[in-house]
Structure 1
Amino acid sequence: MFTRRALMLGAGKGVLLTGLAARMYYLQVLESDRYRTLADENRISHRLLPPPRGLVTDRFGAPLAVNRQNYHIMIVREQTPDVRRTLEILDQIIELGPDTIERVERDVSRRRSFVPVTVRDNLTWDEVARVGVNAPDLPGLIIDAGRSRDYPEGPHLAHTLGYVAAVSEKELTGDPLLELPGFTIGKSGVEKVYDLALRGTAGTSQVEVNALGRVIRELEREEGESGNTVVMTLDLDLQRFANQRLSGQESASAVVMDIHNGEVLALSSHPTYDPNAFTNGISHKLWNNLVNNPYAPLSNKAVNGTYAPGSTFKMCVALAGLEAGIITPNQKFFCNGHLDLGNARFHCWKRGGHGWVDMHDSLKHSCDVYYYEISQKIGIDRIAAMAHKLGLGEDTGIDLPNERSGLIPTKDWKEIQLGKRWQGGETLIASIGQGYVLSTPLQLCTMTARLASGKAVRPHLTRDHVTPEGVTSREAEEFPELQVSRANLARIRDSMNGVTNEIRGTGYGSRIKIKGMEMAGKSGTSQVRRITMRERQTTGVIGNDELPWKYRDHALFVAFAPVENPRYACAVVVEHGGGGSSVAGPIVRDLLQKAQELQSARQGISAANLPNSAHLRPTSGNNNENEG
């Protein structure tokens, strides 16, 4: 019996040993490659390296957005006996503050002892030197160098370029690049629109780590490819000048565009801000100051500011009448200072009226009654159709985020949106660019460019086509014809010339006096408050100077130059600035003159050698006439 039991026990042990041997053979021989790979993966860590962000330049290669070396200081908990003591000593060398010390202590406690924690970014070279000299007293501190976005022009291009900032939680899309510490993406402007093209391709680094994840050594490194360079259509010299000319206003915007190819040469919004503040991490105090500023410095007013266009809309109404064959250029209407419709009275800006005026004189003197008369014959829908043809009431397609389309009302629009029928008086109000009519400065510049060129010009901000896949050359775009009579366009342009270059024109005081550089334009002043009949009959209409800023009229002016061979279009809106001819007109004059002088200088022609040349200076025009 003993022998039988021994045999059974031995057999059982043999089976177990055989199974163990088979399992070991399976793991070490048959599955050896798989487990060797797993072991290597536990030992080797693959890490992404952020690529250098692509550069942004102006049309001549001047740097607008670059990457600068950024020094930052980090602390490793296991390398210092007392984190707080080290930070307090550092605070005496470079300013940290109690909030930073508390934040670092909190981050250190949440991470492994060997993981570095950033203490401060964007150290100056002087601060780096001071920390380096005191290194023996600062155990655990590491000074590292990286890259951060820098905008050499600062506020001059803030609204166009935008800025970059850290990735927010809702912006995480699964791209591992976005999860890298300190990685930034475009938040506004061109930086946002072309963010994918500017990001580049990430590099990789293979490092050997131990079981705890501590880095032992770097095994292999492959740098990533930097993002594409974006060349903008902007002329930096003209952009700086535009900002300078707007700087005297509380809130204003300006656009200058090449009417032949749609290239935007200057796009300015005032007041502005410094985009570098966002790159370096904006403080709560500065952010609150920007957000609560009544002049809205964060808003790009040239693209997303909407305003009643006022009398600058009259070219659209006149062209609609000519194209419909309802009026002729020589047809006259009598202006006695007002027009009655039913029991309502609609006033002209000139109290005594303009007398008999034809189309040319109606634009030259900005007669409101003329447009009251013809708008009744044309109707709002025909006016709206012409407005859309000239680029109003719809997105221009500019490569900037948050563009607003403005508003060109129609009978159907009011019925659908407001549930009310269109009234005849509303057509009269719309004919002088008031009421429901809204447009952006960029749209007004586009309208002017189309009137000057006769083509459906569309504005753009880059000289090349930029996509996430790369940059390709932009072919010379042939814009379609406006499908408007060239003779009628010529009549409108001639009338605009009368505004600025004929005596008693509303823009005569703001004309360009240099021969060959003359501009043709149109002033506009749009009301932001209702003028009651009681005010007219008792005190008279209160002047802008006597009103609080927010109740003053908006000042607008649009123009193209030179008159004989148009090349540039410009639109300026000064919020609550007062009269368009006296406030916005001189700014447009200076911008168009500057654009032509820059062109002449680059072509080797000195503006000083031109006859009757005048020195550019930011002055106001003294007009013989004003308009409403």
Structure 2
Amino acid sequence: MEHFVKDSNTITDSKYVWSKRILIFFIIVLLIRLWDLQIMRGSEMRMLSEQNRIRVKKVVAPRGVIYDRNGKILAETRPSFNIYIIPEDIKDFNQTVDGLAQLMNIERDEIIEKLKAASNMPSSFPVKIKSDVTMDDVAKVEAHRVYLPGVQIQIEPKRYYNYGKTFAHLIGYVSEISDEELKKKEYKNYSPGDFIGRYGLERSYESFLRGIDGEKRVEVDAMGREIRTLDIKEPIPGNNLYLNVDLEVQEVIDKALENKRGGSVVIDTKTGGVIALVSRPAFDPNKFVSGISKEDWQKIALDTRHPLQNRVTQGRYPPGSTFKIVLALKGIEEGLINEKTSFLCRGGMPYGGRVFKCWKKGGHGGVNIHRAIVESCDVFFYNLGLKLGIDRIHEMANIIGLGRKTGIDLPGEKDGLVPSSQWKQRVYKTPWYEGETLSVAIGQGAVWLTPIQLVQLASFVANEGVNYRPQIVKKIVSPEGKIIKTFEPELNASVKLKKDTIRIVKDGMKGVVNEGSGTAYGSRIQHVSMSGKTGTAQSVGEKGKNLGDHAWFIAFAPSEDPSIAISVLVEYGGHGSSSAAPVAKAVTETMFKEKKDIKEAKLNGYR
């Protein structure tokens, strides 16, 4: 019995010893682990702890403001409420994604795609899900915040275009950068959710308008909500653009072209500064900033009127009778015609087995160069075209700058075409025929120009052989008011022409508007003289349908000392005299308002 008790005690003591040893072992392991975490890796662990508690958030920099020539704001920034997801704070992926999709009426796949696009960013990086939500949407998200871990609302500056469609093709728009663009080296300084200039000045001056983002360190709770801001590095706003554009003139053209297709541009003849540039139909740039819906995008993309096209810089059309000014300049300059040169117009000109018709069926009778310009006689210019030949016509057009890009500070400008015998041989491997010259002589056939190129023709005549590169932006100014860059006038063409050449052509263009037989006499102005040239160009409509002729008018004013040049195109507008010239008249009346006599001051002198 004593032996059994003794053995039992021995076993108990043995278990106790082993339990004690195991406990000591785990205590030693724990101490070693604590030593490693607290001493050896203490700084690393503190950093990880800080990262769980402290976040570094981007503070988006506002884009630069865009002003017109009189300091009126055309594009600025406004506060916008945007929905973000911070992947690190998501507790239940499906709960957060499905809940947000249902609450905000967003496709689940759309949310997942945006999260995937930012998968190479840190898990604490906020992924933008929806931009510019309403206050009602903000209230919904905040009310369901506890059920949507990882979802946050952030207030950020958003681009706003004060005059919407009026400046759509000139200022352009910004939109969110795409995944494909983020992969390119040129966009290495951009992050998912950033906005970038897509069109117009927004694109041309992206590097100046885009600011430098700041950042702030904030303390957050377990739900990812901000508790307090620890410190902040303020963002630097983008530089401001001051334009040569006049808001009032822009709005006048916009109204004149309402419900029409076409475009118009007005430039300062002394500098090349663009005073107005309108293309119609247009689009609302603010829709792109907020994230255009699929429905709205389809409406724009499938619109057969092509509202995204800038007709002033990208639309190429036969110039019609406006092109006759090129032949007049070259013909007089070369001594092939003078004021006494006359051709007989009986309503058409037989040539090569066919009759090339004049627009006036009964004919103009005997016509000199002055009447030919004033009344736009086709027969006169058929004859002059044959005298000049296609290569001399091409030479004069090239001197003026027609057929090539003007260099205006907008992206996507198209060149034009003024043919030559060499061009046809190179492209079609066939010689040029004289019969083709007759069509070119009246601005038809293989000649295609843009409204911005034709305003250069008007400016060339107004300046007596000189024109300048069109320039929209006048200067770039920093947020502090420091001038970063100014744009001085840049010569495009400078040719010394004979005095008779300039005098005859100028008198003819003045007569177009101010003589009773002039094709634009209906657009004459009482208090200021405007000079111009109408044009009617044959066209081919959609799917071969004839929708009517294109209407042209180019002009400069005042006739005696021109300071502005104007180009107007109305697609399928018919005659330049009735559709295009009234637009130029409205512009001229706006820029040169009639000064009313004030007689009261004189009466006061007798009191």
TM (norm. structure 1) is 0.78
Q: Which residue in the other structure is 1:575 paired with?
A: 571
The alignment's C-alpha RMSD in Å is 3.7
1:388 paired with 2:410, answer: no
Match of 1:197 among 194, 208, 218: 208
Report matched runs for 1:168-179 at 5 Å: 168-172=178-182, 173-174=184-185, 178-179=189-190
Contact map agreement 1:310 1:434 (CA 8 A) in 2: yes
Report matched runs for 1:111-260 at 5 Å: 117-129=127-139, 131-132=141-142, 141-172=151-182, 173-174=184-185, 178-203=189-214, 221-249=232-260, 251-260=261-270
3-state secondary structure, aligned to 2:300: helix
Q: How many residues align?
A: 548
Contact map agreement 1:197 1:466 (CA 8 A) in 2: no
Cα separation, 2, equivalents of 1:377 and 1:153: 50
Cα deviation, 1:464-503, whole Å, max 9, x if unaligned, reads 2699x98222345577632222331121010011111111
Please report how far the alpha carbon of residue 321 of structure 1 lies from its aligned counterpart in structure 2 after TM superposition.
0.4
Please report how far the alpha carbon of residue 343 of structure 1 lies from its aligned counterpart in structure 2 after TM superposition.
1.4
Cα separation, 2, equivalents of 1:85 and 1:43: 27
Contact map agreement 2:161 2:286 (CA 8 A) in 1: yes
Match of 2:104 among 90, 96, 99: 96
Match of 1:317 among 306, 318, 327: 327
Please report how far the alpha carbon of residue 101 of structure 1 lies from its aligned counterpart in structure 2 after TM superposition.
4.4
1:74 paired with 2:84, answer: yes
3-state secondary structure, aligned to 2:76: strand
Cα deviation, 1:40-80, whole Å, max 9, x if unaligned, reads 79977987654322221111221122121111233567867
Cα separation, 2, equivalents of 1:88 and 1:590: 56
Q: Which residue in the other structure is 1:615 paired with?
A: none
Cα deviation, 1:446-479, whole Å, max 9, x if unaligned, reads 1101111121222110112699x98222345577
Cα separation, 2, equivalents of 1:113 and 1:195: 29
Q: 1:79 to 1:444 in 2, by over 3 A?
A: closer
Which amino acid is the alignment partner of residue 279 of structure 1? V
Larger Rg: 2
Contact map agreement 2:269 2:467 (CA 8 A) in 1: no
Q: Which residue in the other structure is 1:449 paired with?
A: 459
Contact map agreement 2:63 2:210 (CA 8 A) in 1: yes
Please report how far the alpha carbon of residue 219 of structure 1 lies from its aligned counterpart in structure 2 after TM superposition.
6.3
Contact map agreement 2:86 2:126 (CA 8 A) in 1: yes
Q: 1:374 to 1:134 in 2, by over 3 A?
A: same
Please report how far the alpha carbon of residue 594 of structure 1 lies from its aligned counterpart in structure 2 after TM superposition.
1.4
Cα separation, 2, equivalents of 1:194 and 1:257: 20
Q: 1:559 to 1:105 in 2, by over 3 A?
A: closer
Contact map agreement 2:128 2:193 (CA 8 A) in 1: no
Report matched runs for 1:226-305 at 5 Å: 226-249=237-260, 251-305=261-315
Cα separation, 1, equivalents of 2:453 and 2:127: 49
3-state secondary structure, aligned to 1:362: helix
Report matched runs for 1:325-404 at 5 Å: 325-404=335-414
Q: 1:83 to 1:66 in 2, by over 3 A?
A: same
Query: Percent identical across equivalent pairs?
Result: 37
Q: Which residue in the other structure is 1:496 paired with?
A: 509
Cα deviation, 1:370-394, whole Å, max 9, x if unaligned, reads 0111111111111111112222111
Please report how far the alpha carbon of residue 91 of structure 1 lies from its aligned counterpart in structure 2 after TM superposition.
7.6
Please report how far the alpha carbon of residue 507 of structure 1 lies from its aligned counterpart in structure 2 after TM superposition.
0.9
Report matched runs for 1:49-64 at 5 Å: 49-64=59-74
Match of 1:471 among 473, 484, 487: 484
Runs (5+) with no aligned partner, structure 1: 1-27, 531-546, 598-605, 612-628
Q: Which residue in the other structure is 1:483 paired with?
A: 496
Contact map agreement 2:272 2:467 (CA 8 A) in 1: no
Please report how far the alpha carbon of residue 90 of structure 1 lies from its aligned counterpart in structure 2 after TM superposition.
6.7
Cα deviation, 1:215-235, whole Å, max 9, x if unaligned, reads 999765423422211111111
Cα separation, 1, equivalents of 2:91 and 2:215: 34
Match of 1:560 among 544, 556, 559: 556
Q: 1:481 to 1:501 in 2, by over 3 A?
A: same
Please report how far the alpha carbon of residue 585 of structure 1 lies from its aligned counterpart in structure 2 after TM superposition.
1.4
Cα separation, 1, equivalents of 2:115 and 2:520: 66
Contact map agreement 1:50 1:180 (CA 8 A) in 2: no
3-state secondary structure, aligned to 2:561: coil
Q: Which residue in the other structure is 2:524 paired with?
A: 511
Q: 1:391 to 1:609 in 2, by over 3 A?
A: farther
Which amino acid is the alignment partner of residue 165 of structure 1? S
Which amino acid is the alignment partner of residue 573 of structure 1? L
Q: 1:409 to 1:221 in 2, by over 3 A?
A: same
Cα separation, 1, equivalents of 2:215 and 2:494: 52
Please report how far the alpha carbon of residue 581 of structure 1 lies from its aligned counterpart in structure 2 after TM superposition.
0.8
3-state secondary structure, aligned to 1:155: helix
Please report how far the alpha carbon of residue 115 of structure 1 lies from its aligned counterpart in structure 2 after TM superposition.
6.2
3-state secondary structure, aligned to 2:297: helix
Cα separation, 2, equivalents of 1:354 and 1:262: 37
Please report how far the alpha carbon of residue 283 of structure 1 lies from its aligned counterpart in structure 2 after TM superposition.
1.6
Which amino acid is the alignment partner of residue 590 of structure 1? A
Contact map agreement 1:205 1:222 (CA 8 A) in 2: yes
Which amino acid is the alignment partner of residue 103 of structure 1? E
Cα separation, 2, equivalents of 1:386 and 1:478: 17
Which amino acid is the alignment partner of residue 472 of structure 1? K
Cα deviation, 1:224-268, whole Å, max 9, x if unaligned, reads 42221111111111111111110032x111111111111111100
3-state secondary structure, aligned to 1:225: coil
Please report how far the alpha carbon of residue 439 of structure 1 lies from its aligned counterpart in structure 2 after TM superposition.
0.6
Cα separation, 2, equivalents of 1:239 and 1:411: 40
Contact map agreement 2:548 2:573 (CA 8 A) in 1: yes
Which amino acid is the alignment partner of residue 104 of structure 2? L
Please report how far the alpha carbon of residue 350 of structure 1 lies from its aligned counterpart in structure 2 after TM superposition.
1.1
Contact map agreement 1:572 1:587 (CA 8 A) in 2: yes
3-state secondary structure, aligned to 2:387: helix
Q: Which residue in the other structure is 1:435 paired with?
A: 445
Cα separation, 2, equivalents of 1:309 and 1:176: 40
Greater CA deviation, 470-479 or 192-201? 470-479
3-state secondary structure, aligned to 2:551: strand
Match of 1:586 among 565, 582, 586: 582
Please report how far the alpha carbon of residue 401 of structure 1 lies from its aligned counterpart in structure 2 after TM superposition.
0.8
Which amino acid is the alignment partner of residue 232 of structure 1? L
Cα separation, 1, equivalents of 2:114 and 2:560: 67
Please report how far the alpha carbon of residue 575 of structure 1 lies from its aligned counterpart in structure 2 after TM superposition.
0.6
Contact map agreement 1:83 1:105 (CA 8 A) in 2: no
Cα separation, 2, equivalents of 1:523 and 1:282: 40
